Chains A and B, each alone.
Chain A
Amino acid sequence: MSKNLKLKAARAERDMTQKALADAAGVSRQTINAIEQGEYNPTIKLCLTICRVLGKTLDELFWEDEEDETL
């Protein structure tokens, strides 16, 4: 799984730390870090929560083209 740079960028855009996003989404900072590093594949429920917190759509944060998925 490739790193989720879109999530990192959206978080930076809102000037949020991983901890702040984690608190807002109701998960641990370790989980947000693992998602950004591409080490954890979140459930659709958590994806939606993160999208709501950051004011983005699922496509904007989690869509991957086929070539990205194989990285």
Chain B
Amino acid sequence: MKLFKKGKNQLDEMQEQNLRKLESWGFWLTWGALLLSILIQMLVYKDEAAKYLKGEWIVFMASCLFMLVGCVRLGIWSRRGIPSFTNILLISLLAGLVTGIFVAVYNYLSYGDMFTALITVLITGICTFALCLLALSLSLSAYKKRRQKLDSEGDEK
């Protein structure tokens, strides 16, 4: 019994589009679930988290890198976001704030010391903000270069 027809796509264009939508949803659901699982395990394992989360972390970062490289190559920034410095500054601030709050809860639950928790919020928040801003600035610059190249390709005559 043949399971597959070699080389021939069995789907028509509508089925192909529907499957791609489904695959996209599947990817983002898995991506979100993986992130959530990492965060929960960090809270559960506390200081030993790094020991248990290496695999998940590598898969998560690989998927992020895959999407980043793919989007830059295609000259796509995002579906709704506008590629501007103001926007990446706001996103970095938000990332710093969210990470700071997460680390504060994590530290407070681990050590029960409010002062230490607040200090780490500041340090982690600022570091996350700076790293996010750096990563997003580099991505923005790569995106703009690629966009310019793609827009200048081909004959307009």
One of B8-16, B39-47, B92-100, B140-148 at the interface? B8-16
Interface hits, A11-44 → B, CB 8 Å: 26-28, 30-31, 34, 40, 42-43
Most A-side CB within 10 Å, residue of B12, B13, B14: B14
Per the bound structure, the CA–CA distance linking A28 and B15 in Å amounts to 8
**Consensus secondary structure, chain A interface:** loop
Most B-side CB within 10 Å, residue of A26, A31, A40, A45: A31
Question: Contact mask B7-48 → A, CB, 8 Å, 1/0?
Answer: 000001111000000000000000000000000000000000
Per the bound structure, the CA–CA distance linking A31 and B13 in Å amounts to 8
CB-nearest residue of chain B relative to A22? B12
For chain A, the count of residues having a C-beta within 8 Å of the partner chain is 11
Nearest chain B CB to A48 CB, angstrom units: 12
A residues with a Cβ closer than 8 A to B are 26-28, 30-31, 34, 40, 42-43, 45-46
Chain B residues closer than 8 Å to A42, beta-carbon distance: 13-14
B14 touches A34 (CB 8 A): yes
Per the bound structure, the CA–CA distance linking A27 and B12 in Å amounts to 5
Chain A residues closer than 8 Å to B14, beta-carbon distance: 27-28, 30-31, 34, 40, 42
Chain B residues closer than 8 Å to A28, beta-carbon distance: 12, 14-15
Nearest chain A CB to B90 CB, angstrom units: 35
Chain A residues closer than 8 Å to B12, beta-carbon distance: 26-28, 31, 46
CB-nearest residue of chain B relative to A40? B14
